[in-house]
């Protein structure tokens, strides 16, 4: 038997990590519930045709496909498909019908479409589940990772955008991530900029290039725009706009001038202004800023676009989202607008680890260890175990008589704060020796004293 | 676009179902934590070679395999494997290296083996995650379902068995499943019975047959035993033993006589007695009984075997487990004994649904809906939303001005108990109209009165 391993890009989460992850999930869930989102879970596997074509060609490549069970070659053989000369792509439909979900948004759209008659719209759902991508693993990028999504579908009110912004702020603040930036943009502004630059309908190309501004810089973006067939003239108009420096108010006023007379662009600005004003009624969100170059590859966004970064940590975005006017249209259900955000649990974990904000989370899983002194006293130890658990104290018993030193070492390794010893003397005097591991202090206590002390 | 669907044997869990499932998971988790088990999560995908050969040939067939990403035919082509004349089984290793986990026990054994140097033994871990099996779907059997496991590994003390029995009782009692039976047996007793019947070493065959007693009856089992090559003489000795009627004390005394002089059999009886006596120190468990015919297909069990059924519900077992002396031996780490139990979330859900014990679970997800009377009053409504959420009340706002009737219908459909209306009059008089949906009663309240009433 060779040494076992786990697949590349996946991880085991032992007790210490799990406690931290559960803390993050519980914090996010609590905020989602406070904002009246209802839980949903969808299957890990989706029909392959539900997923393909939704994430672009590159995305399709990254979907984990599941081999049909049983004799998966049956269909191929029956239909005489000559495998030797075919490509993987051609035979795929014959040997795989299912795949692991790639995100939570497409399964959500599938769910809404299938259950449209039973759902009360606007539908506010949250969903916290793993997703899988066959991406090249690297820092902050895993092949299995958790997304925590909240979406409101069936309303085009900008109050929804404002609520999601508040959720982002509340979640990150509750997690004690102090410094973060919520970047906001609007697809309509990007469309307006494209139109005003004489590159009508080219916003996708423009956005793909703009998205790389951080990575490839000014000149890189210009080159990429040019390669994508955007004229030099358009590029000259575009670049100053997406690079405009200033605070949100200055950017809005600059854009109002630049986009003058462009209907869609101006409506994008209006949406931004209305969202900001609603946010200001709901609370103070100084972390919110307009970022004209924010595009997030556009994908299916039609209005607001969000992206959140933790300041001072070299890791990608920890949350993102936006409005999609026709996501369920992919499945034939048209005219339903939605808006959502997604938190990346694993990236948030990495950020919190780097910022050292997990310190306050208790690592105590067991409060008391009861030792077994010898076989004769075993029954007394078991009896105490029952008493302590009955009053709700997390207690465990060292399962067999062994050297006390070994039992103490176990408590030590597991960071158990209290150890009880019940030996011959204790039994005779009806007392319990309690050792506080931190100080080494040891006391003999009556049962009532022991229960009182440990209940504190 | 065709109507989307989900894979056979999988399910979406909408808000109402999710609340019930979360309630079950939280109840189980709370007991696991009280008994000082620490959380673990392993990846959904395991290396195929970690899983295959662990669940028998039939089990191997039911493992969902994941297609290698990218050009999965590459290896086949490079190695000139002629697909036309090969079987699925032969080409599998070339096109798939990963699979979805089939249970939580083998991944746990893999984890323990890989992390043996960092783990403090005995290691008490719980794990609540989905598993996948390509089984034929039917009532109570799904292709994706949750297991909730608790294991203690690294101790052969029978106190562990007793603790797990208490856990089963506490979990099911807390879930308000009143009538259930915890069946217990011991592999060593089965081995002893095989030896005493002159069928030395044939306990696997015997157990596979015995396991079907419920389904195929007396004669069916005899026939199967015979087909499996057990002599008629052995069958004649065996059958009365596994069918012996009586309470646990009577069964123990009967077995002591029958197994007299058989070392392993008698040690099995000793273990049962010791476990029962430890259980009795820890609490009252009248649901516990010895079942001589309990085998659970044996698989890797070497000592205790458990199985739990809800009485009066036609569904398979809702929990099961046992002791395995050498599970990590599968991965080259020998000499570590463990014992564990597994709760089937989905079956427990089905049982609770059938027994109607979910009634007490609140389905209220939103406590208050704030309506938007018209555009003019929108700001007031948003302001109140912020106030109510600040004091922790689950509140939502109907996201746009619309007919009040429609907004009330929304509250009704979502079973939201309170609705607030803020119209022109309310704004003028600084009052809030609160409607209690259940009674239809409507009151005008000052802000302090409103906050107080809703905080109750």
* N-terminal to C-terminal alpha carbon distance within chain A: 50
Beta carbons of A6 and B413 less than 8 Å apart: no
Residue B415 CA: distances (Å) to CA of A33, A57, B370, B406, B436: 15, 43, 14, 14, 11
Task: Write down the pLDDT at residue B49.
Answer: 94
Set of chain A residues whose Cβ sits within 8 Å of the Cβ of B49: 2
Set of chain B residues whose Cβ sits within 8 Å of the Cβ of A46: 6-7
Mean pLDDT of A346-350: 95
Task: Write down the pLDDT at residue A298.
Answer: 61
A341/chain B closest Cα distance in angstroms: 17
pLDDT digits (tens, 9 = 90+) for B112-151: 999 999 999 999 999 999 999 999 998 888 999 999 999 9
Kindly indicate the confidence band of residue A204, based on its pLDDT and cuts at 50, 70 and 90: confident
pLDDT digits (tens, 9 = 90+) for B12-27: 999 999 999 999 999 9
Mean pLDDT of A22-49: 97
Kindly indicate the confidence band of residue A2, based on its pLDDT and cuts at 50, 70 and 90: low
CB atoms within 10 A of CB A438: 9
Distance CA(B242)–CA(B256), nearest Å, equals 14
Residue B150 CA: distances (Å) to CA of A14, A159, B70, B163: 14, 45, 38, 11
Beta carbons of B83 and A73 less than 8 Å apart: yes
Beta carbons of B14 and A40 less than 8 Å apart: yes
Set of chain A residues whose Cβ sits within 8 Å of the Cβ of B6: 42-43, 46-47, 110, 114
Range among B53-67, B180-194, B201-215 rated most confident: B180-194
* N-terminal to C-terminal alpha carbon distance within chain B: 50
Beta carbons of A67 and B65 less than 8 Å apart: yes
User: Residue A246 in 3-state DSSP?
Assistant: coil
Q: Backbone phi, then psi, for A289, in 5-degree steps?
A: -145, 150
Distance CA(B64)–CA(B76), nearest Å, equals 20
Task: Write down the pLDDT at residue A319.
Answer: 97
Set of chain B residues whose Cβ sits within 8 Å of the Cβ of A31: none
Tell which residue, A149, A151, A153, A148, has the closest CA to residue A120: A153
pLDDT digits (tens, 9 = 90+) for B341-399: 999 999 999 999 999 999 877 777 899 999 999 988 999 999 999 999 999 999 999 99
Beta carbons of B64 and A62 less than 8 Å apart: no
Give the tokens for residue A402.
Answer: 């062994």
A191/chain B closest Cα distance in angstroms: 26
Task: For residue B19, give the nearest of A39, A114, A281 by CB distance.
Answer: A39
Mean pLDDT of A344-370: 90
Mean pLDDT of B27-47: 97
Kindly indicate the confidence band of residue B168, based on its pLDDT and cuts at 50, 70 and 90: very high
Complex ipTM = 0.93
Among B50-64, B124-138, B292-306, whose mean pLDDT is lowest? B292-306
B97/chain A closest Cα distance in angstroms: 9
Query: In chain A, which residue's Cα lies nearest the Cα of B63?
Result: A69
Beta carbons of A399 and B159 less than 8 Å apart: yes
Query: In chain B, which residue's Cα lies nearest the Cα of A58?
Result: B70
Q: Count of A–B CB contacts within 8 Å?
A: 283
For residue A49, pLDDT over 90 is answered with yes
Task: Write down the pLDDT at residue B302.
Answer: 92
Task: Write down the pLDDT at residue A25.
Answer: 97
* H/E element, B21: helix B15-34
Task: For residue B7, give the nearest of A98, A152, A400 by CB distance.
Answer: A98
CA dihedral A117, B19, A27, B395 (to 10 degrees): 60
For residue A410, pLDDT over 80 is answered with yes
B143/chain A closest Cα distance in angstroms: 10
Distance CA(A95)–CA(A72), nearest Å, equals 5
Task: Write down the pLDDT at residue B84.
Answer: 66
User: What percentage of chain A reaches a pLDDT higher than 70?
Assistant: 98
User: What percentage of chain A reaches a pLDDT higher than 90?
Assistant: 79
Kindly indicate the confidence band of residue B245, based on its pLDDT and cuts at 50, 70 and 90: very high
Task: Write down the pLDDT at residue B87.
Answer: 83
Kindly indicate the confidence band of residue A84, based on its pLDDT and cuts at 50, 70 and 90: low
Identify whether the C-beta of residue A224 lies closer than 8 Å to the C-beta of residue A259. no
Kindly indicate the confidence band of residue A71, based on its pLDDT and cuts at 50, 70 and 90: confident
Task: For residue B5, give the nearest of A47, A396, A410 by CB distance.
Answer: A47
Q: Helix H segments across A345-446? A: 345-355, 378-390, 404-413, 424-429
Q: Find where tokens 């006596």 sit.
A: B277
pLDDT digits (tens, 9 = 90+) for A215-245: 888 899 999 999 999 999 999 999 999 889 9
For residue B43, pLDDT over 80 is answered with yes
| Test the A interface: residue of B9, B12, B17, B386 with most A CBs within 10 Å | B12
Kindly indicate the confidence band of residue A140, based on its pLDDT and cuts at 50, 70 and 90: confident
Task: For residue A45, give the nearest of B10, B110, B414 by CB distance.
Answer: B10
Query: Which is more confident, B114 or B85?
Result: B114
pLDDT digits (tens, 9 = 90+) for A379-405: 999 999 999 999 999 999 999 999 999
Beta partners for A288? A182
Task: Give residues with Cβ within 8 angstroms of A45, minimum separation 6.
Answer: A66, A98, A99, A100, A101, B7, B10, B64, B132, B143, B144
Burial class (CB in 10 A: 0-12, 13-18, 19+), B101: buried
Beta carbons of B72 and A88 less than 8 Å apart: yes
Q: Find where tokens 């009143």 sit.
A: B178
Identify whether the C-beta of residue B302 lies closer than 8 Å to the C-beta of residue B191. no
Set of chain A residues whose Cβ sits within 8 Å of the Cβ of B12: 40-43, 111, 114-115
Distance CA(A12)–CA(B39), nearest Å, equals 11
B74/chain A closest Cα distance in angstroms: 8
Task: Give residues with Cβ within 8 angstroms of A137, minimum separation 6.
Answer: A8, A9, A143
Task: Write down the pLDDT at residue B4.
Answer: 94
Beta carbons of B6 and A413 less than 8 Å apart: no
| Test the B interface: residue of A12, A123, A362, A370 with most B CBs within 10 Å | A12
For residue A360, pLDDT over 90 is answered with no
Beta carbons of B399 and A159 less than 8 Å apart: yes
Mean pLDDT score across all residues of chain A: 93
Query: In chain B, which residue's Cα lies nearest the Cα of A2?
Result: B331
């Amino acid at each position: 038997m060779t040494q076992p391993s786990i697949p590349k890009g996946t991880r085991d989460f032992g007790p210490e990590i799990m406690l931290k992850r559960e803390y993050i999930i519980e914090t996010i869930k609590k905020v989602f519930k406070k904002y009246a989102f209802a839980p949903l879970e969808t299957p890990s596997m989706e029909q392959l045709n539900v997923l393909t074509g939704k994430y672009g060609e590159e995305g399709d490549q990254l979907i984990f496909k599941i081999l049909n069970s049983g004799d998966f070659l049956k269909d191929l053989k029956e239909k005489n498909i000559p495998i030797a000369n075919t490509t993987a792509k051609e035979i795929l439909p014959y040997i795989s019908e299912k795949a692991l979900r790639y995100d939570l948004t497409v399964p959500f759209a599938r769910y809404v479409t299938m259950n449209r008659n039973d759902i009360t719209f606007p539908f506010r759902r949250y969903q916290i589940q793993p997703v899988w991508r066959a991406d090249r693993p690297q820092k902050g990028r895993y092949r299995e990772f958790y997304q925590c999504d909240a979406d409101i579908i069936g309303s085009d009110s900008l109050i929804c955008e404002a609520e999601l912004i508040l959720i982002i702020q509340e979640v990150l603040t509750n997690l004690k991530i102090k410094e973060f930036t919520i970047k906001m943009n609007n697809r309509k502004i990007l469309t307006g900029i494209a139109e005003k630059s004489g590159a009508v309908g080219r916003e996708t190309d423009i956005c793909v290039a703009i998205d790389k501004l951080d990575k490839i810089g000014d000149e890189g973006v210009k080159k990429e725009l040019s390669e994508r067939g955007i004229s030099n003239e358009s590029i000259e108009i575009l670049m100053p706009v997406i690079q405009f420096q200033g605070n949100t108010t200055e950017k809005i006023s600059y854009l109002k001038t630049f986009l003058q007379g462009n209907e869609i662009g101006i409506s994008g600005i209006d949406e931004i202004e209305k969202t900001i004003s609603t946010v200001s009624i709901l609370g103070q969100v100084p972390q919110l800023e307009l970022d004209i170059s924010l595009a997030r590859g556009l994908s299916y966004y039609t209005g607001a676009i969000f992206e959140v970064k933790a300041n001072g940590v070299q890791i990608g975005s920890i949350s993102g989202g936006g409005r999609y006017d026709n996501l369920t249209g992919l499945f034939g259900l048209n005219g339903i607008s939605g808006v959502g955000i997604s938190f990346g649990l694993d990236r948030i974990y990495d950020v919190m680890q780097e910022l050292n904000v997990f310190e306050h989370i208790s690592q105590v899983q067991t409060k008391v260890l009861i030792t077994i002194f010898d076989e004769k006293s075993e029954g007394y130890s078991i009896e105490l175990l029952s008493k302590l658990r009955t009053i709700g104290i997390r207690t465990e018993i060292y399962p067999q008589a062994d050297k006390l030193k070994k039992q103490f070492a176990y408590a030590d390794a597991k960071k158990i704060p209290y150890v009880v010893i019940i030996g011959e003397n204790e039994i005779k005097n009806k007392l319990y020796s309690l050792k506080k591991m931190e100080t080494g202090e040891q006391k003999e206590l009556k049962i009532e004293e022991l229960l009182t002390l440990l209940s504190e």
